[in-house]
Structure 1
């Protein structure tokens, strides 16, 4: 064994620790990345351009989107349990939650991260500037939580705030 004056016990242990850390790092990074895109199903009218724009934004956000074209989306809203006062143009489902209307994807990400005990989120009507309705990041509107533990009219997310 050859003696190297610059190599002492502390530097040898440091080199070993760096080597072990660098081997573990790729596994840590892989564990944080989702294995597959999250599935999102959208019931929408075949003639609604803003619904199609929202679907395109969902795809750009990385969702695996499927659509069901319906001349009347009312049955999908009723079956999903969306209160009539919160209805919008399209109704979606993702990971067991209902998404009604032009909900921003930041709110959906928060929903999927926090997993609250609610039925879903809604953006009632079709606010100008919302995703699919002009995509203005400065647009101000509320995203309402409904069902489950959500109080009636509970604001879950404030867009543009």
Structure 2
């Protein structure tokens, strides 16, 4: 059994080994404004979950979601594209993984608004609110994809 010092010394070698290194996560392209702090929090959450991020800063992200068929009422402060889907707002990484695995006939996912406790919207006092991740269907329709307490 390795002690902590031996493990710490061996860790860089283990990570350099292709057999032991984790495969990089999917690339997600994120469109955001330069001034949005909660978007930075969501990006950090995605990176910690293993996603590779490509961040594109724009003055206005609404043309992106509109082009993808997302109604304004279901929009948020940032919009992403991954695997042919659109992801709008503070969607948890696990919901995106599930979307890509199940491949439903849909536009993508959204968490409208900015619910407390969603990724990037954590509060120092730990307060959260229940929210739903919605599956975006053509024509602006939705159905609940995941519930978060």
TM-score bracket relative to the smaller structure: 0.7 to 0.9
For residues 24 and 119 of structure 2, what CA distance do their matches in structure 1 show?
A: 24
Shift in alpha-carbon separation, 1:133–1:113, aligned structure 2, 3 A: same
Q: Cα deviation per residue 1:98-123 (whole Å; 9 max; x = unaligned)?
A: 10000011211111111111110000
Structure 2: gaps of 5 or more residues? 1-18
Shift in alpha-carbon separation, 1:151–1:42, aligned structure 2, 3 A: closer
Count of paired positions: 128
For residues 140 and 60 of structure 2, what CA distance do their matches in structure 1 show?
A: 28
Q: 1:95 aligns to what?
A: 83
> How high is the TM-score relative to the length of structure 1?
0.72
- Retained in 1: the 8 A contact 2:116–2:127? no
* Match among 118, 130, 134 for residue 144 of structure 1: 134
Give the root-mean-square deviation of aligned CA atoms.
2.3
Q: Secondary structure at the match of 1:154?
A: strand
For residues 62 and 106 of structure 1, what CA distance do their matches in structure 2 show?
A: 11
> How high is the TM-score relative to the length of structure 2?
0.77
Q: Secondary structure at the match of 2:66?
A: helix
- Deviation at residue 153 of structure 1 after TM alignment: 2.9
Q: 2:143 aligns to what?
A: 154
Structure 1: gaps of 5 or more residues? 1-29
- Deviation at residue 151 of structure 1 after TM alignment: 8.0
For residues 23 and 78 of structure 2, what CA distance do their matches in structure 1 show?
A: 28
Q: Cα deviation per residue 1:46-90 (whole Å; 9 max; x = unaligned)?
A: 000000110111111111100110111111111222111101110
For residues 78 and 23 of structure 2, what CA distance do their matches in structure 1 show?
A: 28
Q: Secondary structure at the match of 1:132?
A: coil
- Retained in 2: the 8 A contact 1:104–1:159? no
